[in-house]
Copies of this chain bind each other. A is one copy, B any other.
Amino acid sequence: MPRQFPKLNISEVDEHVRLLAEKVFAKVLREEDSKDALSLFTVPEDCPIGQKEAKERELQKELAEQQSAETAKRKKSFKMIRSQSLSLQIPSQEWKAPLANPVLSPATPVVPSAFMPVQVPYDVPEFQRVSISGDYCAGVTVDDYEQAAKSLVKALLIREKYSRLAYHRFPRTTSQYLCSMQDEKWKVEDEVYPDFHSPPEENEDPYNLDDAPDNLDYVIKIKGGIPFVYDNKEMMELNEPRSLPYPDLETYTLDLSHVLALIADGPTKTYCHRRLNFLESKFSLHEMLNEMSEFKELKSNPHRDFYNVRKGRQTFHRFDKFNSKYNPVGASELRDLYLKTENYIGGEYFARMVKEVARELEESKYQYTEPRLSIYGRSPDEWLNLAKWFIKHKVYSPNMRWIIQVPRIYDIFRSKNILPSFGKMLENIFVPLFEATINPKDHKELHLFLKYVTGFDSVDDESKHSGHMFSDKSLNPDLWTSEKNPPYSYYLYYMYVNIMLLNNLRRERGMCTFLFRPHCGEAGSITHLVSAFLTADNISHGLLLKKSPVLQYLYYLAQIPIAMSPLSNNSLFLEYSKNPLREFLHKGLHVSLSTDDPMQFHYTKEALMEEYAIAAQVWKLSTCDLCEIARNSVLQSGLSDKEKQKFLGANYCKEGPEGNDIRKTNVAQIRMAFRYETLCNELSFLSDAMRTEEISTLTK
């Protein structure tokens, strides 16, 4: 061992370093006790301005670097060197090629290896990918893994079945994996989409009543809560309805049972819990590694930031009991006076208010809203009155799409003897819709109004107990004559069956379809989220997904849209900082931000912007996060295909980076690729577990 020690003297050393060190030393000495002394060595962590400035500086440096051909070269070389040094870190053994006879697996997904330049079939700037190697599935036994995967796949197939039937949406990627697991070929033609009416052109009259199609002469009858459509009166008398597929009560309760049993299954809980934890950590690693690259992508996207990205929102005219409970003024008469479409001044005040909001939105240009209008099911006239109100007051706005909310308050109407049975309530709600669909000529106002309706909501305080256990033995709606309110799942099943059959009939006629978008999982029983998993296109709130790893993971895999309203929740059920929105977003659930009753829970006139602003502040969401949420909002919304193409890009139906047009959405392609590849990776775990036959072959 050489014991020499080379002495240094000042001339050899960079004088600059010595001076800098001396300055540092002197400064520390002078300010030993002050914060300034430390700030020399630390990175600004708690100071938002410091962080922002540092980020901007970094960006400027990187952008400057991009300009230089010399640096671009060096950068490329570093990348080559890095990929070499990664591959060489594999120790001395021979190089092993992948197995010779690869088994087929879905072709699109991409999880790159650690030491290969990544080549993906879509256009995305280079970024750092997190990958995991070495085991098939962490910390779960083979049996548990197989059992969990199979049950999850079965649950996904159930949702897919209910979604297709109702013209609800189901993610293409998940569908592709499900197909391949069943050895079926996925075809784009088989995809099912809801159909929303495109808004009238500038020169068209939005209130034109003259284009109603002819009468089909079908006859509609709701029996036991299920709508039956007959070709004509004779067929009805013969009791021969048109054959329409729908899930009967027995089928529905059995499907529900499967998911219900699944969410309490130990191995599946463990499996989903682990996967969700992994998703969260993976995102945080992704952010840490690629934050700057995402930021850079957005910055080089000219004339576009969060403020001119389209944002959807859903609003006001909320359900009665809820209103009386939380009415800040405490006077429900005021609410009746101003906010009902049926009060004695013909809903004029309400219409004026709506129109005022609409003008503001139209001016703001980038904000859209999906206000709720109530249909109670007290009488069959409600629809016609609503349609007339809409037309009389000229409430139409290109920045508004209407959603019908049905409060779950049968018990109140029954106790006041307004309704004889739950079946009658369903009839009042749905028969007018079937009639307007079969014979639009005789229901011109409703036919027109329905063009601007995109879905149904089911609303009320979810924490109310029904005391009844839903099953295939539950009385049918015609026999449900007691004053007890039916449980949530019962409401959802009958809403779903009616909407689904209505959609099929409307589709047959080329008319727009409706989505079922219930309030769900804000409070009450977790089983609500199971019912919605089958019946809903998307839900509002979903807070209780926090409590069930299995449901949360299923909502992730099926990319079920969840519209969250942390500020409203804040006032009612959950403290803002405990709201799971940020956690759900990071894991990759399909969340959006919305305002729920903006007149009650917000301080500024711009309730939606207030939700975004506070979310950004409290959770330190990046612009890319905010734009991802805004993009989700548009996807979830009832905007027409044409509008979505305009706001999201022509390929918005494609998933992953291919479906994203950064110039419109301002969501980084890197983020899109991360989400897409991550979903593929999760799904591939399920598809691996399904290859039982291969396993028996491989082990022979």
Contact = CB atoms under 8 A, between A and B. Distances in A.
Contacts of A4: 245
B98 A549 contact: no
B91 A120 contact: yes
A502 interface: no
Interface in A339-384: none
Given A25-B471, A112-B134, 7 more contacts: A4-B245, A5-B247, A81-B103, A96-B119, A130-B285, A132-B289, A138-B293
A89 interface: yes
A504 to B, nearest CB: 7
A689 B38 CA distance: 29
Interface stretch (A10-18, A199-207, A448-456): A10-18
Contacts of A6: 251
A24 interface: yes
A87 B113 contact: yes
Of the listed residues A108, A117, A139, A255, the one surrounded by the most CB atoms of chain B closer than 10 A to its CB is A139
A258 interface: yes
Contact of A291 (B62, B65, B139): B139
A244 B247 CA distance: 92
B285 A144 contact: no
A115 B133 contact: yes
Contacts of A282: 285
A136 B128 CA distance: 9
A142 to B, nearest CB: 5
Contacts of A24: 260-261, 263-264
A38 B548 CA distance: 8
A467 B20 CA distance: 19
Given A5-B161, A42-B548, A247-B5, A258 B21 contact: yes
Interface in A449-495: 465, 467, 469-472
A99 B119 contact: no
Contacts of A62: 141
A689 B6 CA distance: 25
Contacts of A78: 136-137, 142, 145, 688-689, 695
A412 interface: no
A332 B80 CA distance: 66
A621 interface: no
A81 B694 contact: yes
Given A127-B134, A138-B128, A281 B288 contact: yes
A239 interface: no
Given A17-B258, A257-B18, A549-B43, A524 B130 contact: no
Contact of A84 (B26, B102, B142, B292): B102
Contact of A165 (B5, B80, B117, B270): B5
6 contacts: A5-B251, A7-B247, A41-B550, A87-B99, A135-B293, A138-B289
A262 B116 CA distance: 34
Interface stretch (A68-76, A416-424, A533-541): A68-76
A292 B139 contact: yes
B8 A38 contact: no
A89 B684 contact: yes
A29 to B, nearest CB: 5
How many copies of this protein are present in the complex?
2
Interface stretch (A271-279, A318-326, A661-669): A271-279
Contact of A9 (B22, B130, B250): B250
Given A90-B113, A98-B115, A248-B7, A277 B288 contact: yes
Contact of A7 (B118, B250, B547): B250
A88 B113 contact: no
Interface residues of A, number: 163
Contact of A288 (B61, B93, B278): B278
A415 interface: no
A680 interface: yes
Interface in A102-157: 102-105, 107-121, 126-139, 141-145
Given A89-B111, A257-B17, A43 B133 contact: no
A82 interface: yes
Given A248-B7, A282-B285, A134 B128 contact: yes
Contacts of A115: 98, 113, 133
Contacts of A161: 5
A583 interface: no
B79 A695 contact: no
Contact of A133 (B42, B90, B91, B118): B118
Q: What 8 pairs across the A-B complex have the smallest Cβ distances?
A: A21-B257, A5-B245, A139-B292, A41-B548, A114-B131, A82-B136, A73-B699, A78-B136
A104 B469 CA distance: 70
Nearest to A273: B43
Contact of A90 (B81, B112, B247, B290): B112
A680 B261 CA distance: 47
Contact of A65 (B116, B142, B289, B472): B142
